[in-house]
Amino acid sequence: MSFRLSFPKPSPLFSVLSHGDLKAMNVLVNPRSGNITRVVDWAESRILPFGFALYGLESFLGRMNSEGWHYYDRYRELESLFWQTFREEAQNFSGADLHLVRVVRMAGFFYRYGLDFDTNGVVQGMRMNQPDGSLAYLDTFCAANEWAPLL
């Protein structure tokens, strides 16, 4: 059985349900088929501009350790396959729409790894010297020549 995703025409106000903590450990996969069976841990889900949670793509392409971020072998192929599939499924996205998605994705990186929030979700400032290595993620993912996805 096959299906095609249908995306409405995006705009700066186009919002969707975003997972909020999309990473490999929250995606359950059937080991025999390789198909995704469930996405869990929706506690941080929010309605956000489309593309905001695409920072999560990086967690599928590499890993962080005490020495910094390490992309997996052939990560560029996987990244390219993701964006190629996205473009095929979202045929009504123009180049300008995709640029907007890239900009919103960058905002998602800063939201996820750069800002500190209080218990009410109010921004308290930038994350500085956090044990989770947030600034190391920003340093890796937001380099001027690296941030734009392969479209």
Instruction: Tell me the domain boundaries of the chain.
Output: 50-141
Question: pLDDT tens for residues 16-35?
Answer: 888 888 888 899 999 999 89
Q: Which residues of 83-94 are buried (b: 16+ CB within 10 A; e: fewer)?
A: eeebeeebeebe
Question: pLDDT tens for residues 35-67?
Answer: 999 999 999 888 888 888 888 888 888 888 888
Q: Which residues of 33-71 are buried (b: 16+ CB within 10 A; e: fewer)?
A: eeeeeeeeeeeeeeebbbbbbbbbbbbebeeeeeeebee
Q: What is the DSSP string of 29-73?
A: E-TTT--EEEE---TT-EEEETTGGGGGHHHHHEEEETTEEEEPT
- Average pLDDT over the chain, rounded to whole? 79
What separation in angstroms does the CA of 53 have from each of 12, 70, 87, 109, 117?
A: 15, 20, 17, 8, 17
Strand partners, 116: 125
How, if at all, do strands 68-71 and 36-39 pair? Answer: unpaired
Confidence of residue 1 (pLDDT cuts 50, 70, 90): very low
Confidence of residue 133 (pLDDT cuts 50, 70, 90): low
